[in-house]
A and B are shown apart, each in its own frame.
Chain A
Amino acid sequence: MRLLIVDDSRIIRNRIQRAVRDYNLEVVGTAGNGKEAIQLVSTVDPQLVTMDLTMPEVDGIESIERILAINPGLLILVVSALADKATAIEAIKKGAHGFLCKPFTEEELTDALGLLIKGSAL
């Protein structure tokens, strides 16, 4: 599957890239904020997105809405430090398919992505 990574931290983007390298995921792009992510969705045509929430320019919640307007079939895993239930519920209501709280281990990340992909194939 084609993966787009969205996070304002380069370290987190790199960590996610390294974590998925042994899985059947092709990283087709990375974005440091929601504005870049919205532009990239049209050009790199991802199937799966990891989405941070607290970002400059356009935040993650607004980005979810806007990228799903471009491609409603996208699978979105929110990866955020915002650990309250209300935020997770809001992200899911906007169209995200899963929520992983930072700080995460690589195993937790690949498990969460695996569940999303498995769920989409059902």
Chain B
Amino acid sequence: MNENDLRVFIDAVSHYFGQTTGIPGKVQTPYLKESEDTFAYEYTGIIGISGRKKGCVYFTTPPKLLSHLLLRLEEPDTSAELKCDLVGEIANTIAGNARQYFGPEFMISVPVVIEGQPDRIRIPEKCRCFVIPVNWQNHESAVIVGLQ
């Protein structure tokens, strides 16, 4: 992954919040993590990547961001089920939008959602893993990209 590749995901997550709520997410400085490290908040949407690039993209966030976002979307139900739905949809949108740059050979899976248990999340071996911290309405979240 190079700087241009990383920029694709930075733009995608910023665009997601801006387009969906009118308030863009504030992207902070991305950093590199070692492959074996794990990093997750309570809700995580994971997209598997196959094709020309292999690895995964995930969006992870505490529940407060999802509750706030659901209310912003006029969704009265802020249950755990809807939070899981939303975190999966955000991950899917960020990874799907990346195809504008990577092309159709950047193949994405349906989202897998994990509620809690951040120690279960693993980045595939031999992947350079970048963490992109995002703040939206004073709520922390992150996009994590691990691609071979």
Residues of chain A whose beta carbon lies under 8 Å from any beta carbon of chain B: 8-12, 14-15, 18, 54-56, 80-84, 86-87, 101-105
Contacts and interface: CB of A to CB of B under 8 A. Distances in A.
Given A15-B73, A84-B103, A103-B16, A9 B96 contact: no
Contact of A56 (B82, B94, B103, B110): B110
Interface in B87-133: 88-89, 92-100, 102-104, 106, 108, 110
Contact of B110 (A10, A55, A101): A55
Nearest to A55: B110
Contacts of A84: 99-100, 102-104, 106
Contacts of A104: 19
B99 A83 contact: yes
Interface residues of B, number: 28
Contacts, number: 65
Given A84-B103, A103-B19, A11 B70 contact: yes
B85 interface: yes
Nearest to A13: B85
B10 interface: no
A102 B88 CA distance: 13
Most buried by A among B15, B20, B89, B100: B89
Contacts of A80: 96
Contact of B75 (A11, A86, A87): A11
Contact of B85 (A10, A54, A103): A10
13 contacts: A9-B85, A9-B88, A11-B70, A11-B73, A11-B85, A14-B75, A55-B110, A56-B110, A81-B92, A82-B108, A86-B103, A103-B20, A104-B19
